[in-house]
Amino acid sequence: MFIRFARKHAIIPFAIFGATIIALLSHSIHAAKDDIRISLRDMEGDRSALQDVVLEGILGDGFHETAFEISGGKLSSRTKIYEDAKPVRSYYLPGKLISSGFPIDSIQARDFIYSVIDEPFSFNRISIGKYDLQQRMIGSSKLKLNISSTAGNTYSNTPNYGLAVIGGKAYFTPLVTLDYSGTSGIYETLGFFNGGDEERPDEESRLLASLDLEGNNSYKGTGLEVLGLEAVGNKLALIAARNGEVIVQGYDSESGELLGEAAVGEYVRGGSKDSEAGSAIARGVNEQYHADVDMDSQMINLSFRTSESTQEEWVQAVASVSLADGVELLNKQDVRIKGRFSSDRDFTMYSYRNGKLYLAMSKVIDEEAGDLGHPTSGLAARSLTIRVYEGGKQMYIGELATDMNEDFIEDYFMGQNQMNMHKGLSMYRLWKGLRFRDATDASSLE
């Protein structure tokens, strides 16, 4: 009798033991979100270089996110784990593309996507489309242009560089090269409409500011070439090259008034050439610049990859321009980083404040594994380093070290179908919402 009872109920202790283990594991996993390994590691220089600034942001994917803040050189963080997988959302970054499967002529601002939906400069008409985050069109607005080209539809940059968004208003400027003549400009869309032309108002956009192209001559290399348009607070910054020099012009987004202009450096497309003096070499810069905007100080930080960049060293020319009162160049310097850098996989974010240039940079740790042609490039671990420069000299390098890439090991060894499904839910782990601000501001984690 006892033997039968023991056999019949022998599973009970094992069930209790198993339930206890599961409960302990569950508690451990849930508690791990408050004990995630994230630390600031000093690599070069003194951490006191971060005393006057705060770097905040989020590292996350479709399964969880960790909000962090480095204030006065001290790191704090908070982790949230989702009950169900969520899609990874992009953030609007001036001068950057979105990775949503849309064409390369799109940007995302707040809860909408804006796109140049017609072939640039085709028949002197361009349409700007507005979409929701599910990529459903809300409407479009047509811009009528008054320009002509001697070399067909050429343009200086990918069309998204001509788009800027302030609040709910979209602005666009054609990215004309020296092949164009006539009168170009900065346009404001007055609304986004559906339906045929007969249902549209006569005026769908207004010319905010005119840009004279009559001096353009591609053979002599003279005239105005437009590289992009950026939103800086409630103002617009036109990025252009005029007679071989990069300039930034500020415009009022309501009146179109020219607020000022600053020259930020020599411009030579596609390589270097002898300067007029014959002794110096004018560096070439990549016209696909990157822009970081500090909204609190109305500062735009422009970075251009120069022709000095090699496989061993990446060189950027960085200019910080204030639009707070007119247009003023506050800082210009080179930033040199050892190793390769790819705009497709890596990113930088600059901020100039308190007389210092701050750089947050995400870069693939294993450069060979991070190459886009490598079968596991999407799984390559990335690091986030923080650099501080003062007077053009590097003062500090630190690394935000995390364990957030460890679950990619699981992806690596999973079956191909399973791995694709997992990556489809989490996309790639992203740094989101990164920004520098003054240390006097309140904490975002409180």
pLDDT in tens, 194-242: 876 566 777 788 999 999 999 999 888 899 999 999 999 999 999 999 9
- What residue ranges of the chain are covered by domains with CATH 2.40.128.630? 96-288
Residues 6+ apart with CB under 8 A from 21: none
User: What digits encode the pLDDT tens for the residues 98-153?
Assistant: 444 455 678 877 788 888 887 666 667 888 989 887 788 888 888 888 888 887 77
pLDDT score, position 417: 33
More confident residue, 178 or 342: 178
Give residue 44's pLDDT: 95
pLDDT tens profile 260-301: 999 998 876 654 444 343 323 346 676 778 899 999 999 999
pLDDT in tens, 34-54: 445 678 899 999 999 999 999
Most confident of 90-104, 113-127, 375-389: 113-127
* pLDDT, average across residues 403-424: 38
Residue 188: is its pLDDT beyond 60? yes
Question: What 3-state class would DSSP assign to 15?
Answer: helix
- CATH number for the domain formed by residue range(s) 96-288: 2.40.128.630
Strands of 298-354, DSSP E: 299-305, 313-322, 328-338, 347-353
> Minimal CA–CA distance to 342: which of 321, 369, 320, 302?
369
- Asked if residue 19 has pLDDT above 60, the reply is no
Q: How far apart are CA 135 and CA 277, in angstroms?
A: 53
DSSP state of 222: B
Q: Would the pLDDT of 394 be above 60?
A: yes
Judged against a pLDDT cut of 70, whether residue 85 lies above it is answered with no
In this structure, the strands spanning 258-266 and 328-338 are unpaired
Residue 182: what residue type?
A: G
| Contact status, residue 405 vs residue 69, Cβ threshold 8 Å | no
Tens digit of pLDDT for each residue in 292-330?
A: 999 999 999 999 888 888 888 888 899 999 999 999 999
What order of strands is seen across the sheet that includes strand 258-266?
224-232, 235-242, 245-252, 258-266
Determine the average pLDDT of the residues in 3-27. 51
Q: Which residue's entry shows tokens 């247009």?
A: 327
